[in-house]
Amino acid sequence: MKNLCIVAVCILAASCSGRVNGSLHGDGSAELSLQAELEPRMSGLIRTLSRLNNPSSGADPVLNGPSIAASMAVAPGIKGVSFRNINATAIEGVISLTRVNSFLGVSGGPGFIAYEQTSTGGKVTIILNRNTAPRLIAVLSPDVGAYLEALMAPVATEEVISKAEYLALVRSVYGKAIADEIAGSRIRASIDFPGAISGIRGGSVSGTNKNCGDFDIPLADLLVLEGPLEYEVSWQR
């Protein structure tokens, strides 16, 4: 379930810091609330690139919440989505899903979320790799793909390089400050499950709340996908 949140935020907001909270229900439906904000130097870079392509775009939000929501609203598995701009570089909003295993489902290959529910509990397994990620980007907002391409992110360009090589590339093209922003950005998520967590891979149980899993993911890992990102949570009723 965790990477459902991570993809929703990370691929929503290029080089950003983000926070996701959510709940997964026993029928496989889910609700997510999220906040995402571009780092200062990255927002300046994107605004500069936008002006080069469209000189009249200077007053437009760098992240356009309603535009992203409109694009996502027609994606598979989305029951409802709404984002608003906190400011020109930050958005917040909610996503409702019919079933997590249909979220952003794409043709031409396996999905990235598997969901199982039994009479005694359930399990969610998430795998995001260089095969599934480009197909996910294709069904999201065009703005998101443009941001990721501006970052030269392997998740969008499909170039096979390591995280160290990617950060070195960003440093050589855009400078150390932006490379450091990417390296320091993280996505954090807290997800409530339908029962007490009996097993978790890729995260940890949230303190005394045995139904809640916490996850902390470096953004660079998602932008590069040097290796598959795999997560699994099992719970008991």
146: Cβ–Cβ under 8 A, 6 or more apart, which residues?
none
Domain boundaries, the chain: 2-236
Confidence at 138, pLDDT banded by 50, 70, 90? low
- In angstroms, how far is CA 162 from the centroid of its own chain? 20
SS3 category, 213? strand
pLDDT tens by residue, 199-230: 999 999 988 899 999 988 888 888 898 888 88
Q: What is the pLDDT of residues 159-192, one digit of tens each?
A: 899 999 999 999 999 899 889 988 888 888 899 9
The two tokens of residue 191 are: 């997800």
Q: Report yes or no: 83 and 66 within 8 Å, Cβ to Cβ.
A: yes
* Percent over 90 (pLDDT), the chain: 19
Select from 226, 44, 58, 201 the least CA-distant residue to 130: 226
Q: What is the overall mean pLDDT for the chain?
A: 78
Mean pLDDT of 96-103: 80
Which range is least confidently modeled, 36-50, 96-110, 185-199?
A: 96-110
pLDDT of residue 135: 64
